[in-house]
Amino acid sequence: MKAFWTEPDFDDHELVELVHDRKSGLTAIFAIHSSHLGPGAGGTRFWHYPDPAMAMRDALRLSRGMSYKNAMAGLPMGGGKAVILAGPDRAKSPDMLAVFGDAVDALGGRYITAEDVGMSEADMVAIAQRTAYVTGLPSKHSGAAGGDPGPFTAMGVYLGIKAAVSCKLGRESLDGVHVAIQGTGSVGGGTARLLARDGARLTLADIDRARADALAKELGAASAPADAIMDVACDVFSPNALGAILDDEGIARLAAPIVAGGANNQLAREEHGPALAARGILYAPDYVINGGGIIAVTLEYLARQTGDHCGIEQVHAKLAEIPERLTAIWQEAESSGRSPDQVADAMAQRLIGR
């Protein structure tokens, strides 16, 4: 693995730490990008990377994205992320989670962890046996915030899509709006159900074709192969899987006037936001539209620290700010001639003192 400071995604990160424990099989990377607004908060990703350098790149990009996401959501949290390098079999053991929890605890509260790809509520419960610096835990009280952040992320994406359709297409209703959704897991699947409720016409795709087909049958939607979803002619392309899909080739393939989805780091490089704008495609900056999950788990964590109750209604009130923030970004982009991602980056950087 090349030294992290030669990585193009190293952005003056405050901490980058590699943890390896031979006995449990844990290899993990912790990255804290900024603590200007508070402790670095962001989920843990459990993923098999063919090349360890890809894991480092993911940790760096995701932690920076969390700095921006938390700042733009108005949360008193900085940006952090952890990546656990899974083996090809993606085996996960109690010992591995225990050692990981100890590593989180050793950071002394500089990093707060939660669920991300490959991690579950049950994993957070196991980690919580070793550290208090964890959130996304099941709620003990009906109506209280807590647990899987995925549904809250999905709600934010749904609200963001509605705002984008209003801004770009001048339509206040989603009835008949065609949305092509890439990824039908917790976020993509949840978004699809919310859109279907409003009468949107859906085309679904997932690397697990059976999962996409099952959801399509449930919702009366169409399905497409995972490698063809970006070519679907539609009103909204909604990426809800892994990132860096909006590169030169991906942008050229798009047949949609709007890109709005929950995947992190959708733009492969900084030049790809302006490339979308040059094609007349309205882009919802990913760390703004997908902020629902971190909003939910942060409010949960803060309530637990103070002993207060955080209800679902408080989370939904904060989620309602997502479309307002997106609309402000698009308006400034229109008036300034900059692309939405450039406007959002500048806003976030000011908030974190960069």
Cβ-proximal residues to 64 (8 Å cutoff; 6+ apart), any chain: 9, 11, 13, 33, 79
Residues counted in the chain: 354
**Which residue is associated with the tokens 């900084």?**
270
Burial of 169 (0-12, 13-18, 19+ CB in 10 A): middle
Q: Three-class SS of residue 333? A: helix
The b/e string for 41-72 (b: 16+ C-beta within 10 A; e otherwise) is bbbbbbbeeeeeeebbbbbbbbbbbbbbbbbb
Task: Return the structure tokens found at 77.
Answer: 């949290």
**Which residue is associated with the tokens 């579950």?**
120
Query: Quick one: angle between helices 52-72 and 292-306, nearest 10?
Result: 70
Q: Three-class SS of residue 14? A: coil
Q: Which of 69, 81, 162, 318 is catalytic?
A: 81
C-alpha closest to that of 322 among 281, 290, 282, 283: 290
- CA 230 – CA 216 distance, rounded (Å): 17
- CA 36 – CA 351 distance, rounded (Å): 9
- CA 243 – CA 222 distance, rounded (Å): 23
HSE, CB side, 13 Å, CA atoms: give it for residue 7: 21
Q: Look up 69 and say whether it is catalytic.
A: no
Catalytic residues: 81
